[in-house]
């Protein structure tokens, strides 16, 4: 999934908004953890990468969807459809 963050990315503006779908909830969380390692190296906030699955509460899902609409989340790893 490293390709979601371009090798020349140096700011959040360099990362296009992406939704990546995973088969399992744990895979979403693991992929999110892995992806969050790269932007920290180039001073991109890690909170622009998040996960979304059935065990995320409804209030948190609404918050994630709103942050995605606002462009605060750039990469959302999902195991179920996000309604944006």
- How far is it, in rounded angstroms, from Cα 59 to Cα 2? 29
The arithmetic mean of pLDDT across residues 25-46, rounded, is 86
φ/ψ region of 34 (left if φ > 0, alpha if ψ in -120 to 50, else beta) reads alpha
- How far is it, in rounded angstroms, from Cα 28 to Cα 62? 18
Is 16-78 a domain of CATH 3.40.50.2300? no
- Note whether 74 and 18 are within 8 A (CB): yes
Kindly provide the b/e burial profile for residues 13-36, where b requires at least 16 CB atoms within 10 angstroms of the residue's own CB.
eebeebeeebeebeebbebbeebb
Domain assignments of the chain as residue spans, ordered by start: 16-78
User: pLDDT tens digit string along 46-71?
Assistant: 899 999 998 999 999 999 999 999 99
Q: What is the model's pTM?
A: 0.86
């Amino acid at each position: 999934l490293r390709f979601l963050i371009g090798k020349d990315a140096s700011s959040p503006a360099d990362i296009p908004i992406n939704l990546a779908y995973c088969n399992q909830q744990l895979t979403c969380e693991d992929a999110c953890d892995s992806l969050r390692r790269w932007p920290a190296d180039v001073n991109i906030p890690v909170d622009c990468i998040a996960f979304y699955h059935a065990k995320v509460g409804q209030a948190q899902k609404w918050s994630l969807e709103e942050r995605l609409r606002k462009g605060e989340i750039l990469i959302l790893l999902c195991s179920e459809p996000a309604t944006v």
